[in-house]
Amino acid sequence: MSRNCQVTGATPSFGNSVSHSHRRTRRRWNVNVQNKRYWVPPLSRHVTLRVSARGIHTIDQRGIDAVVADLLARGERI
Protein backbone atom coordinates (compact mmCIF):
# COMPACT_ATOMS: atom_id res chain seq x y z
CA MET A 1 0.00 0.00 0.00
CA SER A 2 1.37 3.39 -0.91
CA ARG A 3 2.15 5.97 1.74
CA ASN A 4 -0.59 8.48 0.96
CA CYS A 5 -2.57 10.66 3.36
CA GLN A 6 -6.35 10.29 3.02
CA VAL A 7 -7.01 13.81 4.35
CA THR A 8 -4.41 15.99 2.63
CA GLY A 9 -3.61 13.75 -0.34
CA ALA A 10 0.14 14.02 0.38
CA THR A 11 2.27 11.58 -1.62
CA PRO A 12 5.99 10.74 -1.48
CA SER A 13 8.34 13.15 -3.22
CA PHE A 14 11.48 12.19 -5.11
CA GLY A 15 14.89 13.75 -5.56
CA ASN A 16 18.60 13.13 -5.41
CA SER A 17 20.86 12.07 -2.60
CA VAL A 18 24.11 14.00 -3.06
CA SER A 19 27.29 12.51 -1.58
CA HIS A 20 30.39 14.36 -0.45
CA SER A 21 31.97 13.72 -3.87
CA HIS A 22 28.77 15.17 -5.42
CA ARG A 23 27.61 11.90 -7.00
CA ARG A 24 23.83 11.80 -7.29
CA THR A 25 21.57 8.82 -6.67
CA ARG A 26 17.78 8.83 -6.67
CA ARG A 27 15.96 8.78 -3.34
CA ARG A 28 12.48 9.19 -1.96
CA TRP A 29 10.99 11.20 0.92
CA ASN A 30 8.06 9.29 2.43
CA VAL A 31 5.07 10.91 4.07
CA ASN A 32 4.76 10.51 7.84
CA VAL A 33 1.61 8.37 7.66
CA GLN A 34 -0.10 7.04 10.81
CA ASN A 35 -3.14 4.81 11.24
CA LYS A 36 -5.52 6.74 13.50
CA ARG A 37 -8.92 5.65 14.82
CA TYR A 38 -11.53 8.37 15.34
CA TRP A 39 -15.08 8.28 16.70
CA VAL A 40 -17.45 9.97 14.24
CA PRO A 41 -20.74 10.97 15.95
CA PRO A 42 -22.81 11.51 12.74
CA LEU A 43 -21.97 7.96 11.59
CA SER A 44 -22.16 6.52 15.15
CA ARG A 45 -19.05 4.42 14.62
CA HIS A 46 -15.26 4.44 14.69
CA VAL A 47 -13.33 5.23 11.51
CA THR A 48 -9.70 4.26 10.86
CA LEU A 49 -7.83 6.70 8.62
CA ARG A 50 -4.31 6.72 7.18
CA VAL A 51 -3.30 10.31 7.89
CA SER A 52 -0.08 12.28 7.89
CA ALA A 53 1.01 14.48 10.78
CA ARG A 54 -0.37 17.49 8.90
CA GLY A 55 -3.62 15.57 8.34
CA ILE A 56 -3.95 15.00 12.11
CA HIS A 57 -3.46 18.75 12.60
CA THR A 58 -6.17 19.44 9.99
CA ILE A 59 -8.58 17.11 11.78
CA ASP A 60 -7.83 18.85 15.09
CA GLN A 61 -8.55 22.26 13.54
CA ARG A 62 -11.62 21.51 11.37
CA GLY A 63 -13.10 18.62 13.33
CA ILE A 64 -13.57 15.00 12.34
CA ASP A 65 -17.17 15.62 11.20
CA ALA A 66 -16.14 18.12 8.50
CA VAL A 67 -13.17 16.04 7.34
CA VAL A 68 -15.22 12.84 7.05
CA ALA A 69 -17.94 14.73 5.15
CA ASP A 70 -15.29 15.90 2.65
CA LEU A 71 -13.92 12.37 2.29
CA LEU A 72 -17.40 10.95 1.64
CA ALA A 73 -18.16 13.74 -0.87
CA ARG A 74 -14.91 12.86 -2.65
CA GLY A 75 -16.09 9.25 -2.86
CA GLU A 76 -13.32 7.87 -0.66
CA ARG A 77 -13.98 4.58 1.08
CA ILE A 78 -13.93 4.87 4.87
Whole-number pLDDT of residue 1: 59
Asked whether the beta carbons of 38 and 26 are under 8 A apart, the reply is no
Distance CA 29, CA 45 (A): 34
Q: In the chain, what is the greatest distance between 2 CA atoms, to the nearest angstrom?
A: 58
DSSP string, 2-71: ----TTT----EEEEEE-TT--EEEEEE---EEEEEEEETTTTEEEEEEEEHHHHHHHHHH-HHHHHHHH
**Tens-binned pLDDT, residue by residue, of the chain (78 aa):** 589 999 999 999 999 999 999 999 999 999 999 999 999 999 999 999 999 999 999 999 999 999 999 999 999 988
